[in-house]
């Protein structure tokens, strides 16, 4: 692919996130363009194609034919979580770069397959955590790494929403398709962001899951709270829920000050970064911008410059390793150790 040419994408999965956020972002990106759409429903693909000016539409049964499309350099995977691994492996085998929505996959084993396939076929793999590029989150990260908050002691994060009882049945409440409930869907943001801010991965997890509607949440968790111990004594605590009004925040406490980003994760709201450092209050506001454009442009730059993107596939592996430990702790009612996930043992299946 020429260095100045826009990266051509096939977008897989045409649910609400694709229609509301991903596909509109391509209209604004100067470095990426959509050349193909893939859905389980060809009618849906054609409808979205007409709406967003994309001529070539495919079903999942024709995925290999889509991957042979001469204009497709990369795939944006926005399908159900349970399909991410297979779709990534097949794309990598066809020499296509992969930008995959979070969570990366339903298991560490599947994540490792994805990393190995992309490494073997020398294509780039990026996990779609928008927070690495969103200005409010970047400002919080810089504040933490500057040392102005001092030694980190606690990080807290929450993400909640009320799921539509009808729509959720199709995949969010299906353990095979979703891989879990609120933790996998939205709590993964808390897991990743706290790791990113801490600059380390947790050593162990303690968790508790609950619901007041066990009939509805019989296959996946509704609400879950977890505690992650990091090196140096840093404690990270998070919660996610499908039964509370939409809200999110991240709050970081050090021995010299504290800072909070609220709201933290929703992409359609103005953000506020505020706190107190050595007794002095500060506050910044960040207007709504298209975070998906920033994400697309960052991946395009990684492809053009032949370098691994951030966040790469290993960040996704580490997140799912943490999620698996959280789930195990909740099931077994005990603290569970988290083994370090390194590139070598990830690819060796250790």
Q: Residue 99 has what pLDDT?
A: 98
pLDDT of residue 346 exceeding 80: no
Over residues 239-258, the mean pLDDT reads 98
Mean pLDDT of 236-252: 98
Torsion of CA 174, 177, 183, 186, to 10 degrees: -110
How many other C-beta atoms lie within 10 A of the C-beta of residue 204?
15
Residue 349 binned pLDDT confidence (cut-offs 50, 70, 90)? very low
Single out the residue of 129, 133, 151, 138 nearest to residue 252, CA to CA. Answer: 151
Confidence of residue 187 (pLDDT cuts 50, 70, 90): very high
Mean pLDDT of 268-295: 97
pLDDT in the model for residue 25 = 98
Q: What is the pLDDT of residue 339?
A: 86
* Percent of all residues in the chain with a pLDDT value above 70, rounded to a whole number: 96
Q: Is 327 a catalytic residue?
A: no
- Average the pLDDT over 44-63 and give the result: 97
Across residues 308-330, what is the average pLDDT? 97
Q: How far apart (Å, rounded) are the C-alpha atoms in residues 277 and 237?
A: 21
pLDDT of residue 4: 66
* Inter-axis angle of helices 313-332 and 188-198, nearest 10: 120
Average pLDDT over residues 325-344: 88
Q: Which of 63, 159, 189, 242 is catalytic?
A: 189
Task: Report the predicted TM-score, pTM, of the whole model to 2 decimal places.
Answer: 0.95
Contact predicate 34/11, CB 8 Å: yes
**Domains along the sequence of the chain with CATH:** 7-130+293-312 (3.40.50.720), 135-287 (3.30.360.10)
Q: What's residue 1's pLDDT?
A: 52
Mean pLDDT of the chain, nearest integer: 95
Edge-to-edge strand list for the sheet holding 56-59 = 56-59, 32-39, 7-12, 74-77, 97-100, 125-127
pLDDT tens per residue across span 80-110: 999 999 999 999 999 999 999 999 999 999 9
Whether the per-residue pLDDT at 342 is higher than 90: the answer is: no
Asked if pLDDT for residue 341 goes beyond 80, the answer is: no
Residue 199 has pLDDT above 90, yes or no: yes
Catalytic pick from 9, 96, 102, 327? 102
Q: Is 189 a catalytic residue?
A: yes
> Which residues have a Cβ under 8 Å from the Cβ of 229 and sit 6 or more positions away?
202, 203, 204, 235
Strand partners, 157: 238, 250
pLDDT attached to residue 244: 97
Label residue 168 by pLDDT band (50, 70, 90).
Answer: confident
């Amino acid at each position: 692919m020429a260095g100045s040419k826009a990266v051509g994408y096939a977008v897989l999965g045409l649910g609400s996130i694709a229609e509301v956020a991903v596909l509109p972002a391509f209209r604004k990106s100067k470095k990426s363009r959509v050349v193909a759409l893939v859905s389980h429903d060809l009618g849906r693909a054609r409808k979205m194609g007409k709406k967003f000016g994309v001529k070539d539409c495919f079903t999942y049964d024709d995925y290999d034919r889509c991957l042979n499309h001469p204009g497709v350099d990369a795939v944006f995977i926005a399908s159900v979580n349970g399909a991410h691994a297979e779709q990534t492996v097949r794309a990598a085998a066809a020499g296509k770069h992969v930008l995959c929505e979070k969570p990366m996959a339903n298991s560490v084993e599947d994540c490792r397959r994805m990393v190995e396939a992309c490494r073997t076929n020398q294509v780039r793999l990026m996990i779609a955590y928008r927070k690495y590029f969103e200005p409010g989150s970047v400002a919080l990260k810089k504040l933490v790494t500057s040392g102005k908050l001092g030694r980190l002691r606690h990080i807290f994060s929450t993400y909640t929403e009320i799921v539509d009882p009808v729509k959720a049945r199709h995949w969010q409440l299906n353990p095979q398709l979703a891989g879990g409930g609120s933790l996998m869907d939205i709590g993964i943001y808390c897991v990743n962001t706290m790791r990113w801010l801490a600059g380390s991965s947790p050593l162990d997890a303690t968790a508790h899951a609950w619901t007041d509607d066990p009939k509805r949440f019989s296959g996946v968790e509704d609400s879950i709270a977890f505690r992650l111990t990091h090196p140096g004594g840093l404690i990270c605590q998070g919660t996610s829920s499908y039964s509370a009004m939409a809200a999110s925040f991240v709050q970081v406490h050090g021995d010299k000050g504290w800072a909070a980003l609220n709201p933290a994760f929703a992409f359609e709201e103005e953000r506020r970064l505020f706190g107190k450092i050595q007794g002095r209050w500060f506050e910044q506001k960040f207007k709504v911008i298209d975070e998906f454009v920033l994400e697309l442009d960052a991946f395009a730059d990684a492809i053009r410059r032949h370098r691994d993107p951030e966040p790469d596939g290993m960040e996704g592996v580490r997140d799912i390793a943490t999620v698996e430990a959280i789930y195990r702790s909740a099931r077994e009612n005990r603290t569970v150790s988290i083994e370090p996930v390194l590139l070598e043992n990830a690819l060796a299946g250790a």
